[in-house]
Structure 1
Amino acid sequence: MEGPTSLIGCAGWSLASAVAGFFPAGGSHLERYAQVLPAVEINSSFYRPHRPATYARWRDSVPAAFRFAVKVPKVITHERRLCDVEEPLARFLDEVGHLDEKLGCLLVQLPPSLRFEPAVAGAFFEGLRARTRGDVVCEPRHETWSSEAAQRLLADVRVGVVRADPQVVPEVPVRGEVAYYRLHGSPKIYHSEYSEPFLDALARELSAHQRAGRRTWCIFDNTASFAAVPNALSLLRRQRDEAPGSRPEAPR
């Protein structure tokens, strides 16, 4: 993936009144959001398809350097469980392809009951990798995906492994070209706000990945109580402290 190497954002671009002052007043929520944050994760694609024209409109609503991560539909991951997915995968890739160069990453979130099976995983990820040039990451939620065999397979096809919080599978080393963090909120998932010390440590961790030459994604999914945007802005401020004035200062 060409473009920015540090991508911080939220799962969705809804803007609560509490943070509205940090965004421009005019335009759609996405247009306002994209003037401040450099990336977003589209989760609605997991539940329902979007028309190519919708993806094209989103593409044209954001600056050139902005990037989208898009979640692969549940019919592929949860219903068909990575098997016999040629038709829905082709349809999804055709739709999301209308983001053009602003499509930065595809997110494959697996159901907790899906064990690692080498033949199934290999066929699916090799097929997906052959059809897309951008980053691909997997968020497994069964402990068998933490095995060395699973990690080696994903690394061989250049698929990154998501680091999620709360952590539901044993953590594995980040390999390859991309580090992708999904922060769901803890201790109360989707609600809890992350603390300043947590964000300090996270910023250092992301910087270490960048120094290692990796593209870094950090998506805040703690959206239910409107904590995601303040957390993302605070993390963005930490990364921009050495070059102040490029964006509005985020809440502390």
Structure 2
Amino acid sequence: MRYFKYLVILLALVSCSKDIYRVSKTSYKKQAKVLGKSLKYIQPDTLNNKVITVIESQNFSLRKPNFIVIHHTDQDSCEETYRTFALKQTQVSSHYVICDDGTVTQMLNDMLRGWHAGNSSWRSVTDLNSVSIGIELDNDGEEPFSYAQINNLIWLLENLTEKYNIPKQNIIGHADVAPGRKTDPSALFPWKILAESGFGIWYDETKLDSVKLDENFNSTKALSFIGYNISNLENAIYSFKLHFNPTELSDTLTEKDKKILYLLEEELLKL
């Protein structure tokens, strides 16, 4: 009897999940259709009782993403993340989810504006959601990322960067674009391995001990040059160290950190 009771509960949960995804799929198609129709015509605007003239040009294409922002889900499972992105009230989404076993699931068309980066900035870009693809890795932030997960992330990055011609330096983390607000992917994320595969940037570690910093070297300007928002310098430093020196996390720069910044500037100037 107890087994039957548990079975009924399980079936109810499965049915509920299917209903959630069915509703989400229907809403996705409806919203995409409305969006498509809105692109069919240019609705002339009126400014101070003056109507803007409309003459349609035949020379256009869809806007393409130019950044990839990597996250960790901070949830207990891929299934929980799927539900979070499928439910309307959460108001969050991402283009891809990669599970611990390497399973890759796409949840938004690449050309759609996902809601994954929030209040964010990188270099002169102040709205990352509008120009980026979001990739969520199933991870609670306290565990290592699996081999299958990173291997398939690299495979996905190969596909996306080739398809949209995304520069390798434009593959960044949520913490990079939202310092002080976000810390994902965690300090356990293997940025160096990604860079060795051609995605993201890293510094030449063989030069770390021998590099001599010029007395005029400005580490704050270097942080800004790389892309960090330095309006809150301590937050920017912490996010920088989370990415490039995660074993020595703090909100102050050490001599090692300054050398890393110098070498990162070198790498970016080569591109």
**What is the TM-score with the length of structure 2 in the denominator?**
0.30
Of structures 1 and 2, the one with the larger relative CO (CA 8 A, separation 6+) is 1
Q: Which has the larger radius of gyration?
A: 2
**Structure ranking higher in strand proportion:** 1
